[in-house]
Copies of this chain bind each other. A is one copy, B any other.
Amino acid sequence: MTVPPEAEPVERATARSRSIPEASVARLALYLRMLGELSEQGAETVSSDELAAATGVNPAKLRKDLSFIGSYGIRGVGYEIRPLLHQLEQSLGLNHRQSVALAGVGNLGHALAGYGGFGGRGFPVAALFDVDPDLVGIHINGIVVEHIREIPRISAERGVTIGMIATPGPAAQAVCDLLVSAGVQCILNFAPVVLQVPADVEVRKVDLAVELQILAFHVARRHLAEPPQVRNGHAANGHPVNGVPHS
């Protein structure tokens, strides 16, 4: 009585993430950045223990993650940074630039447009969009803000592959539809809504309010157990261990 004929639930999941586990991909990106820093500092090799300590990950987990992209370590020595870096970039799809379109140039969007962490890491922001006539036409970081309705044309022209949505919630779905119609396959959504997209479009959501609420939950848990307890002796000097992992 419950489930009707139904489609295949397993097929899609396995087909989507051939080989590399979702959770590992996120950490690989972390390793990539840390390796870049180490490389700039002139290091030639790293051991899994060193890299694990630097990224706050369990060494065994790190090795397993790296094993998904091949055997680039030397037993008894560690990992040669240069080749590993190259292989990581390859595996994460960073060998060809991914142009980003950002829709919504309000408070948050403006900051994202100017955020150096994107362009510096192979994700140049190639187009900006908004509906507000006061914003359309202004320059941010050398890029002109265009009207939302131009999304399909301009995205195609500039070879946009990734969309970021930083609009208010109510506008997000419409903008999302435009991005999808422009051929964008991946969307990073900062708006507090659940986007409806075709099955072949990937959406990731960053929800700042939810992040805070998760923290608030932990604060509350603490206060149930401990008394007020203000840490007045400066613990600022010794930070014992620990970089608390998270999903």
Binding site for B on A (CB under 8 A): 16-18, 20, 22-23, 25-26, 29-30, 32-33, 54-56, 91-94, 98, 100, 107-108, 110-112, 114-118, 121-123, 152, 156, 161-162, 173, 177-178, 180-183, 185-188, 192, 194-223, 229-232, 234-237, 239-244, 246-247
Contact = CB atoms under 8 A, between A and B. Distances in A.
B243 A203 contact: yes
A97 to B, nearest CB: 10
Contacts of A243: 194-197, 203
A77 to B, nearest CB: 20
A46 to B, nearest CB: 15
Stoichiometry, as copies per complex, reads: 2
A120 to B, nearest CB: 8
13 contacts: A32-B213, A92-B220, A93-B217, A94-B216, A98-B215, A110-B111, A117-B209, A121-B212, A152-B234, A187-B215, A188-B211, A203-B246, A204-B246
B123 A216 contact: yes
Contacts of A121: 209, 212-213
A107 B125 CA distance: 15
Contact of A198 (B194, B229, B240): B240
B235 A178 contact: no
A188 to B, nearest CB: 6
B94 A231 contact: no
Contacts of A244: 197, 199, 201-203
Contacts of A205: 246
Contact of A192 (B108, B117, B229, B237): B117
Given A32-B213, A194-B54, A236 B178 contact: yes
A111 to B, nearest CB: 3
Given A16-B221, A29-B207, A92-B213, 7 more contacts: A32-B213, A93-B219, A98-B216, A98-B219, A162-B212, A202-B215, A247-B247
Given A115-B208, A188-B212, A239 B198 contact: yes
